[in-house]
Structure 1
Amino acid sequence: MEHTVEEFLGGIAAALPRVLAGLVFLALAALVVRALVAAVRAALDRVYPAQPVYVQLGATVAGVYLLRDIDFNPGDRVVAGGVEGVVRTVELRKTRFDVGGDTVVRANADVEQKWTRKPECAGRRGRPAVGRASESTADLCGVAA
């Protein structure tokens, strides 16, 4: 019995340095993770002041989707975020539209939820109207062919 107790205590003594090293590693890893989270949060707070992180990331993700969408480009006439206008610029957080000579800015999260591209009406008079697939661009732009 004494031999078993001595062997058990010897095993604990041999493992103790490894256990302590593991605990120190975990403590340091936790500090590094906290520092990284604080740095990312500070960077996001500078870009997106006074917004929760999930809102900040949502706006950025929507911006990435819009930037990569081949159907949504500067110069396109669209209805998005409650406005109808021509897309001027698409950035990570917001999109700028030309609406009747004014610049209207909408958050990308609002634009990405639902947008509709209007038909091309270059050089034509009249306002584009929603039409059926069988209608010509001239009909959709409110101009007789």
Structure 2
Amino acid sequence: MAPTPEYADRLRAADLRVTRPRVAVLHAVDLHPHADTDTLYRAAREELPDVSLQAVYDVLGALADAGLVRRIQPAGHVARYEIRVGDNHHHTVCRLCGTIADVDCAVGAAPCLTASDDNGFRLDEAEVIYWGLCPSCAREALEA
């Protein structure tokens, strides 16, 4: 699946120059939600064989800074990236295999949770990670 002009439009809307590495990495993140940098590097190279690992790291940083991708890093895991931004959703993480899945907010609008004490902060986001076993690992654990 080739990247669509939508990627260029997203880059322009974020005041980023449209470059082949940026389009390739944005496309890779779109195709591989919750992927790590190495996975995204391999995916981007399928589209743009001469892109370097450093370029992918740089592009991911620029895309995250511009709000076009979201960087998540559950404790004990490498950074992962997703294209779903701006809705303050959360994640489930499997303790065994590391699978990550999206979870919509349970109640209310951002920040989804009302802090018992905001300490004077103006809250705009809550990061919640639910830990457990994915269906596959839970099945295997029952069979063991």
Q: Please confirm whether the aligned pair reaches a TM-score higher than 0.5, indicating the same fold.
A: no
Q: TM-score, normalised by structure 1?
A: 0.24
Q: TM-score, normalised by structure 2?
A: 0.25
Select the structure that is richer in helix. Answer: 1
Mark the structure with the bigger radius of gyration.
1
Q: Say which structure, 1 or 2, has more relative contact order (CA 8 Å, 6+ apart).
A: 2
Select the structure that is richer in strand. Answer: 1
